[in-house]
């Protein structure tokens, strides 16, 4: 059956559901990100997004907010409502009982416990169901690690490395200092926050005495699991990882490891698991199978040259995230990103597909020759007026606070707005930032947040700013028009329907 195209209104409400889902970033694992919007007529009557701690699913929260207005409504949701009993009852059944008339969902749930059963249950109850459309790919990307884990039976693995321009990760003698910038290192912390587990090798632990913690300070649904591949259990009991262990360290080893060392580490709270592989090494595929059974959906690999190559050669790496610093080490003894035996022929090289470039270093200052500026085509005389209304004026400037990743591809932009613009700003209202019209996804104490998709990062200048930069802001023209009409009222605090009509509403 061919999936019908979404109507313009459907696409807007479904996008709002995706944006709501992002508010659960870091707070849902092992569950997926889910946002739900209930609309009755043309009014939003309920919203919700899921968090693991909150237990309730997004659609249940939206139903509770809507109350009786849920009857006859349309639900917009980024992922198929569940049909099974887990920590909660089936959401599909709750929607039917609430009298929801129609469900528009971006993608089916790849979880084998659901996999179309929720939609089938809705259809059998007479609920109109529409799935897919132009936002399906974006919804897939939103829950990339969850979707990957459900479809493949193993977590999504991202190899991360900081490299010089000539591909080196380490000098032969002295490795004090950093290859990349402070901003790049902060971005790495965001990647860790987006991951369920992190893996390194014993060589890195011995050389760097690393912690490998999530230092964003942001809340998580569960601690980042820190994993060391250590076939002989050489990790020192006094290492930072062992000393800081709070049931969040796993040492992956082999049956050849010393029982005495194992007992010592277990007394410190570390978990020891045996994954025997060829050549006395840890079997990485068996490790991934264990992680999947324990419901870890994503793993970031931050290791040295040998383990990086072992992971690539084993075929377990799904994504590669490389941070380049504008430096050259040279020499034959400096370590490359992936060492090991490598491939002997160019024709046998491991191929990387779907490359994307991100600006992380934020080195641009004020506009100068060669700087990127944002351009927008004017509205054609016969064009359709829709979406946000932007005139191109500047109402004030805001302070760029942070650009933080949401998952591996979306971004969260935070800006401090000037006080005189507060009256025009509202949650889910519109704001133009350097001429780019966006939806306000969070608003607290003068700090507004907007979600940025990969297309916007790649095709505008928003990714080139650094903290402290000034950004041009234009507020919603409708808010300013309402303010003008309200100015005609003599008694502003006591608004009634009649007074609003008299003012021209």
- Cite the active site residues: 59
User: How many separate helices (H) and strands (E) can be counted in the chain?
Assistant: 15, 21
- Strand 442-444 with 447-452, pairing: antiparallel
**Largest separation between any pair of C-alpha atoms in the chain:** 85
Strand partners, 41: none
Among residues 349, 353, 479, 467, which one has the least CA distance to residue 413?
A: 467
Going from the C-alpha of 135 to that of each of 10, 27, 148, 270, the distances in angstroms are 10, 23, 18, 43
Q: In sequence order, what are the residues at sequence separation of 6 or more whose Cβ sits closer than 8 angstroms to the Cβ of residue 227?
A: 197, 198, 199, 200, 249, 250, 251, 252, 287, 299
Among residues 181, 165, 143, 130, which one has the least CA distance to residue 364?
A: 181
**Cβ proximity of 85 and 57 under 8 Å:** no
Q: What is the CA radius of gyration of the chain?
A: 26
Please tell me the distance from the alpha carbon of residue 331 to that of residue 348, in angstroms, as a whole number.
25
Q: In sequence order, what are the residues at sequence separation of 6 or more whose Cβ sits closer than 8 angstroms to the Cβ of residue 375?
A: 435
Please tell me the distance from the alpha carbon of residue 219 to that of residue 256, in angstroms, as a whole number.
38
DSSP for residue 354: S
**Helices 58-66, 91-98: inter-axial angle, 10-degree rounding:** 20
Q: In the block, which residue shows the tokens 């700003």?
A: 425
Burial 143-161 (b: 16+ CB within 10 A, else e): bbbbbbbbeeebbbbbbbb
**Cβ proximity of 26 and 190 under 8 Å:** no
DSSP for residue 7: P
């Amino acid at each position: 059956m061919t999936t019908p195209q979404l109507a313009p209104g459907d696409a807007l409400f479904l996008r709002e559901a995706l944006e709501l889902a992002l508010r659960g970033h870091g707070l849902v694992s092992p569950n997926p990100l889910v946002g739900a919007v209930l609309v009755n007529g043309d009014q939003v009557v309920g919203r919700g997004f899921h968090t693991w701690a909150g237990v309730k699913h997004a659609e249940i929260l939206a139903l509770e907010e809507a109350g009786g207005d849920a009857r006859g409504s349309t639900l917009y949701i980024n992922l198929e409502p569940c049909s099974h009993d887990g920590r909660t009852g089936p959401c599909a059944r709750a929607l039917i009982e609430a009298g929801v008339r129609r469900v528009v969902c971006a993608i089916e749930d790849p979880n084998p416990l659901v996999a179309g059963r929720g939609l089938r249950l809705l259809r059998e109850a007479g609920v109109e169901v529409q799935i897919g459309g132009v936002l399906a790919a974006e919804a897939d990307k939103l829950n990339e690690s969850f979707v990957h884990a459900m479809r493949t039976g193993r977590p999504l693995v991202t190899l991360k490395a900081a490299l010089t321009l000539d591909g080196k990760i380490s000098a032969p003698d002295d490795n004090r200092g950093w290859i990349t910038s402070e901003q790049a290192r902060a971005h790495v912390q965001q990647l860790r926050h987006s991951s369920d587990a992190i893996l390194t090798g014993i060589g890195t632990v011995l050389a760097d005495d690393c912690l490998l913690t999530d230092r964003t300070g942001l809340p998580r649904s569960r601690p980042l699991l820190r994993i060391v591949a250590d076939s002989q259990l050489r990790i020192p009991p006094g290492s930072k990882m062992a000393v800081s262990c709070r049931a969040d360290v796993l040492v992956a080893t082999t049956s050849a490891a010393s029982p005495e060392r194992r007992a010592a580490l277990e007394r410190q709270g570390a978990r020891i698991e045996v994954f025997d592989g060829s050549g006395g090494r840890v079997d990485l595929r068996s490790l991934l199978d264990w992680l999947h059974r324990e419901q870890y959906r994503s793993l970031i690999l931050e290791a040295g040259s040998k383990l990086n190559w072992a992971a690539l050669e084993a075929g377990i790496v799904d994504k590669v995230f490389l941070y380049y610093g504008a430096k050259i080490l040279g020499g034959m003894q400096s370590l490359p990103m992936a060492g090991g035996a490598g491939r002997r022929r160019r024709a046998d090289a491991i191929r990387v597909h779907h490359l994307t470039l991100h600006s992380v270093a934020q080195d641009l200052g004020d506009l100068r020759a060669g700087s990127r500026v944002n351009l927008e085509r004017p509205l054609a005389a016969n064009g359709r007026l829709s979406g946000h209304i932007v005139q191109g004026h500047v109402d004030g400037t805001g302070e760029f606070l942070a650009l933080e990743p949401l998952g591996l591809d979306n971004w969260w932009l935070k800006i401090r707005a000037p006080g005189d613009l507060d009256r025009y700003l509202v949650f889910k209202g519109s704001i133009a930032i350097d001429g780019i019209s966006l939806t306000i996804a969070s608003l607290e104490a003068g700090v507004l947040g907007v979600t940025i998709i990969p297309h916007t990062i790649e095709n505008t200048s928003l990714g080139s700013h650094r903290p402290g930069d000034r950004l041009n802001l234009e507020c919603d023209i409708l808010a300013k028009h309402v303010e003008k009409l309200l100015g005609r009222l003599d008694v502003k605090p006591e608004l009634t329907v009649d007074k609003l009509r008299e003012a021209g509403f």
